Each structure stands twice: as C-alpha cells, then as structure tokens.
Structure 1
Amino acid sequence: MKHILFLQSPLGTFFKHLAQHFSSQQHCTYKINLNGGDRVYAWADKVYDYTGLAKDWSDYLNAFYKEHKITDIVVYGDCRYYHSVAISLAKACGIKVWCFEEGYLRAGFVTLEENGCNANSELDLDLVKINNTDAKTVKSTANVGPTFKKRLWYGFRYYVEYQRQNKSFINYIHHRPWTSWQECFFWLSNFRQKWSSMLVDRLTKRKLISKHRGNIYLLPLQVRVDFQLRQHSPFASVEEVIKQVIHSFATNSEKDKVLVIKHHPQDRGFISYQKLIKGLTSFYKLEGRVFYVHELNLPKVYPYLRGVVTVNSTVGLSSLLHSIPTIALGSALYDLPGTTFQGSLDDFWKSSYRVNSKFFAKFHTYLMQETQLSGDFYTERQQLLTLCYQKMCRTNDDIKTVQKIA
C-alpha cells in the first residue's frame, strides 16, 4: 500500500480525481495546500495547509514524510521552489517522485516521469537503445477537443481564491511574479493582442510564403517565466535570446534569408518585444529580413522553412517531426546527434545539415513509450487515470483491477 503526497497540480481537478482513484484502490492519499488557489481543487484522505515560511518548508516536509510514512510524492512541474525542495528531500529519503507536465508531444498526451521532466528527466538517451526501438506511428488514443474554456474557468477560480485567501498564506512565494489582478489584466490584453494581430499576421504569412519560401528561419519564443529557459539554458531572459540570435543571423546568414520571430501565445499581453526587435533590425540593417509575429499556424508554415532556432521549446520536437533542420540553444531531451544540428549557431545559418528522419522516428516512438500517456488534464479523465495508476504502481506489483470512480 502506498502513502502518496500530492503537491501543486495543473489548474483544475486532475490531481483531485487522481487522489480519489488511488484512495479507491486502498492507498492512503495526502494533500498539502500552499495557497488559497490550491484549496479550490484539493482532495485527499487527509488535507493540510502549509502557512509557514519558505525557508522552513524543508524541515516541515521532512517531518511530514516521516510521520505519514510517505512512499510517493506527485507534482506538476519540477522546478517550482516548493517542488524542487520536496523532490530533493524525497530522493534523499528514498521516496518515489512522480512529475507531471504538459505532453512533450502536445495534443492528446501528458508527460509523467519519475524523478524529473524536461532537462531534469532521467530518461535513458543511449543512442544504441534508441536505435533498437521499432519506429511506430505516434498517435494519442484520447479524443481531446477544445479545452481553452475549461482552462480559463479553472484559472479564474484558482486566482480569485489565491487572492481572496492571501492573508491565510501570507508567506507563500508564487512561481509566477504577478498578482492575481495583474494576471487578469494581462490575459485581457492577451485576447486584445490576439485579435489585433490576426489580420496583420495573415498578410505577413502570405508575403513570407510568396517571396521567401525555402529561405525562412523560425525563432519560436518561450514564455519569459519558463523554467526551461531560466534554469536549463545559458540565457537569463527572452531578450537575451533575441539579441544573440539576431546578432548571429546578421553576421552569418546569406542576404536572401529571413528570420521570423514568433511570440509565445501565453505571453501575449504580458510583454511585447516589438521595440527591441525593431531596434536590433535597424542597428544591423536587416529591414525586410526580420519579421515579428503573434498569430502564425506553425504546421502550415513548416513546409516553407529552412530551419528552426529554439532554446528548448517543444516546438523543436514538432519541427524535427517535419524534418526541418533545428538547433537547440539550451538543454533539451531531443538535442541528440542525428536529430538537431550539433554545431554552433553561427555555423547553423549556412549549414546543409539534414535531420536523420529514420533515427528521429525511433526517438519519437521511444519518447512516447517511456514518458507519454494518452489523455489530457481537462478531458478523457478516466483513461488517463487508469494509465497513471498503472505506471505509478508498475514497479510495486500492486496493480489491482481498476474500479471506475462514479
């Protein structure tokens, strides 16, 4: 029997249902809330609030692990301060760590790995082992439709309660730097930016395809508070990425090549890099060769690209799937010989490198089999709960017949 501690979850009820699922199989479940938003979706056999100082979190957890004989902890995201401390302590105590993330392969998948995700993943990337994998069609068995309205509602409830109960969790340090009201304002600005960009970017797309097809490099920006950028790359900010890439492009690319910089959809309204990009374009005399866009359907643009430059975005996996030469400037699971360009950024612009499509197909299958589960945090709940339960219990020989939760 497991004693499972749940910490912060994806926005919404997924951890609540996962805890209920384990509890229905006679496992003991625990939940620690760190703020009022956590309380909204909390469920476990025993639920606790931590209201102490961040510096005391480790001591609190150490005592909690021992008192409740915790065997497993479950987190969403492994880089948040409270999760990072919990994971380090759990490993030292011999406690299993289960990390959820959005799917590496995106729509229809979620990521579940033991001990860490993304750059913290302990996935065995031995090239021989990957080469011995039989390549298969990677397709989710989950029927995932639009989830934006659910995400919006879950986020709204979370941040309302986060703000309303702030005095009860006065010592809490959030992993995002904005207040609830700032988040609300920025998301309203996000929608405004989306609609204002749709027409302009549609015209830009037509121009790019008609005049520059085959000569287009894409730089997909990441969210500026993305832990993968902040902790698993040599860059301190998105601005630093933009500066380095434009400088390298200006000094090393051929004159008929263009660079398209795509803003991350979740960062619209929060920040604009228009002034920075315009200034750099002018400084390097790149007028007509650098484009800054918000609304660009990447799968429809892929056939016209010459290459993709990313830090460690999952866009890199998507571009490799389309056999587009890609370079990763940070730590990324897919940054392997045969997949990404292994030279310098300066050399990338004139390289004739081609993706080893056969090897990538094997890697894509291997990544799916080892780290991905079909499903979604907001739909297809029962199938995903079953798969999570089976994976988390696999090494303990305690898989029982799954009882469907009413």
Structure 2
Amino acid sequence: MKSMFNLLIVLSVALSVTSGFAQIKNPKTETVKIFGNCDMCKTAIENAGNLKNIASVNWNNDSKMAEITFDSKKTNRDEILKRIALAGYDSEEFLAPDTAYAQLAGCCKYERLKKEPVIAMDNTKMQMDMSESKMDSPVEQEGKTMPSSEKHANMTMPSSEKHTDMKMPSTENHKDMKMSSTEKHTDMKMPTAEKHTDMKMPSTEEHTDMPMSGMKETNPLDALFNNYFAVKDALVKTNPTTAAAKSSELLTALKALKIESLKAEVQTAVTKAMPSLMEAAKNISATKDIGKQRETFKVLSKNMHELIPFYNANETLYYQYCPMQDANWLSKDKTVKNPYYGSQMLSCGSTVETIDAKN
C-alpha cells in the first residue's frame, strides 16, 4: 500500500510538470548557459524568462545550464535571454547592463567573463558594427595605398599618393630624356600636394564637427511614450485593432531602445521596468479582445509612469485615475478621456498629477 502511495505521488508530480509544458503551443526546447550562483539567482532567472503559456525556463545552479521551452510562433530564445539579461544575468549571447548587475545581491554576483557588458537588440548591434566599419575605413584605405607610397618614399602625404601615382608613370617613361626637368617637376608638385592636403584636412574636420554641433538632441524615450499614447487613444476609441497594432510598434521601440547609451539613473529605471513593459505590450498586441487589452493596459500605464521622472517631455502631461477600475493612465489631454471604458463612461475619472514640460 505504501509503495502504491509513493507511486501515485511520483505520477502526480510528473503529470504536473507535463501539463505545465502542454500549455505551451508549438513548443521548442533549447539549452543555453546562463551565469549565476545560487537559489536566489535561479528564482530571478526563471521569473525573468517565464511567460505564461509562452515560455518556461528551468535553470540548474550546478551546471549553469538552462532548459528553455517556448512557443516558437510567439517568441524565440533571444527574446527570453534579453529579458534575463535585463534582470542582471549574462548568457553567452547577451550581457546584462552594468546597472542591472550592480543591483544583484552579493551572493548573486557571479564572475563576469567579459569586461564591457552590452545589451542591445539586433538592429542596434548592426548599427554599431556599421559605425565601427566606417571608422576603420580610412585606415583600411591607407593600408591599401601604402604599397604604392613605398615606391615613392618622398611622397608621404595620403592625398598626394594617388596624385603622385598618376604622374609617376609618365615621368618614368621620359626619365632618360629630361632628368633635370623631371626633378623640377617633382619638386613643384610636392609643395602643391602638401598645400592641397593641408587645405583638405581642416575642412574635413570642420565638416565632421558641423553635423554634430548642429544636430538636435533627441530624447531616447520619445518612441516609447509616443507609442504608449497611441495605444491609449485607440482604447479610448474602443478600437482593438489599432490598439494591437500600436502596441506592436511599442514592443518594437522597446526592443530597439539602446539601454547602454542612457544615463546611469535612467538605465536603472528602464532595466527595472523593461520586463513588465515588454510583456504588457506583447499581450496587448496579441489579442483583439478589448477587455483583455484594457486590463493589460493597467500594468503598462503603471510601468510607464515609473519612467516619467526621466522623460523630458516637451509638453505638459497628466496622470489620471479611474475609480471604477482603480487604475491610472498617462495622457496629453487635461480633459479626462477614460481608456478603460471609452464612450460608455468617457469622462469617468480625475487628474491626480500634472507633469510640467521640462523643455
């Protein structure tokens, strides 16, 4: 009887684990290495990576390996690892921001193998690679012209090398005829090339400085708030299709945000709010049920409000409250337009905070 009881316990545990995975449709399982130290790390890593009915993470403290099972039509391994990185834990693919790592408890601070932590979305990495490529191109170009400059050791200026390479063959063809005139010709060309080079260098520097000084600094959080307000307006109009589309754009903006380029205090706030923001934006974009969208909008609004102290808005914003839903939202309109009820109770609510423009 006792052995039968133990068997039933084992079967019930197995069934509960199996049912947890069965809720994930189109399941795909991958194993990845995630750095951490203790049981506290295990809880944080799994909470950051898990999404109900979408993704499940099981991390092993001893091996540092995580088994990730996810709905391959709704998410992927990279998205899960990015959320875990934002919680402060490096993987072999994505590194946590320094601010997120610094907030870990002492027992959770694992040894980091890489010295320059960067968490960026794919398109950000591409931009960085392109930027590095552009910075290196003058060196590469100079490297390609060096062989020709070795033949003409007296001509050292980069801009004169191409000019000299064009002139030298004709000079060599008539070398035996007029050696003295060739030397004079060479002597005449060299000062001209140097002057020409001296003229080009300052103008290049000035040209480089002009776009930088004339460029208007943009707020990196603009895209997040603009898309948030678009979602809010769609809910006010009870338009679930537009709300889903604008929420999808918000999700894209969240993924594209260069967290490592923000100031330290902004990085901390964004890193803390990012997992909830991404999950809320994804859930709103994944449904056309206006009731579910409005319920999720509560979480989205709460976390967007956490970023307000770091958002230099160029216009006055209002934090408004719906007593019927016990929920808030941000708005550009002083007049209350309730996103939780739309036309049913459009004016239900009040302004509880006025955020003055900082520009």
Question: In which range does the TM-score fall when normalised by the shorter chain?
Answer: under 0.3
| Larger RCO (alpha carbons 8 Å, 6+ apart) | 1
Larger Rg, first or second structure (1 or 2): 2
Q: Which has the higher helix share?
A: 2
Q: Which has the higher strand share?
A: 1
Alignment TM-score, normalising by the size of structure 2: 0.27
